[in-house]
Amino acid sequence: MDRLIDSHCHLDFPVFADQLDNVLQVAKEVGVTEFLLPATTYQSWQTIYELTIRYPQIRAAYGIHPYFLAQETLASVDELEQFAATHNAVAIGETGLDFWPDQIHRDTQIHFLEKQLQVAENLRLPVILHARKSYDELYALVKKYRIPSGVVHAFTGSLVQAKRFIDLGFVIGIGGVITYPRAQKTRQLAMSLTNNDFILETDAPDMPLFGYQGQVNMPAQIVKTAEVLADLRSQSIVDVAHHSRNNVLRTFPKWY
């Protein structure tokens, strides 16, 4: 089986600080050997960069997550282009729109998103997108920029919404949601995508799998998501691992 890539995990979060060597070793033992860390805050950029230096199996994306905007100023996003250009970035992100209740004002989110999309266009980098209740608005904004490729991570939208992003050159991030029996819509979507359209992710330490609610999610768990996806698609896990890996490397051409 191809070695698995966790295309979205937050190994820079404090919960992993004292146990990162162990987390990576446990993952390696089940065949998960490479990791993409999307930044969430300005403060995390340097930490993630240092992890790429210390661990050759870690890749970096730099951006500002919509969920954390309250603590950010526009000055930080103004530094993004320069930082990403000089710190081994394989993508810009995670950015996006989060329209769940009690999030920061939509106009502020849109402003930060467009700044980051402009950086991705300028540097010809892919983007890692976060969306909640915002797929149509996000699509309309992303379409305005020349973004070479990217991923809509932890996708839970409709097939029509997924297809629009795929037509723009994006792939769909498939994570632990599909392990929940009640997630019928997302499980159905995972069955309908072509072999070129999906990449596997965990979003660790968030989004624990079904049966592991309340626990810290780990990159090693991606194997269980791959098994569920293989079941849903009536494919072997070998095929699922192969397609996911190919799609990650196509989506993020600066990986190697």
Contacting residues toward Zn ion, per CB under 5 A: 203
Residue 13: CB minimum distance to Zn ion, A: 10
Residue 144 or 165: the one with the smaller Cβ distance to Zn ion is 165
The residue whose Cβ lies closest to Zn ion is 203
Residue 107: CB minimum distance to Zn ion, A: 23
Residue 141: CB minimum distance to Zn ion, A: 19
Residue 154: CB minimum distance to Zn ion, A: 7
Tokens of 103: 């999030």
Q: How many residues does the chain have?
A: 256
Residue 1 or 99: the one with the smaller Cβ distance to Zn ion is 99
DSSP 8-class letter at 57: T
91 CB burial (10 A radius; 0-12, 13-18, 19+) = buried
DSSP 8-class letter at 53: H
Enumerate residues 6+ apart whose C-beta is below 8 A from 213: none
Residue 67 or 237: the one with the smaller Cβ distance to Zn ion is 67
Q: Confirm if 41 and 72 have CB atoms less than 8 A apart.
A: yes
CA distance 131 to 99: 8
Residue 93 or 243: the one with the smaller Cβ distance to Zn ion is 93
CA distance 10 to 202: 9
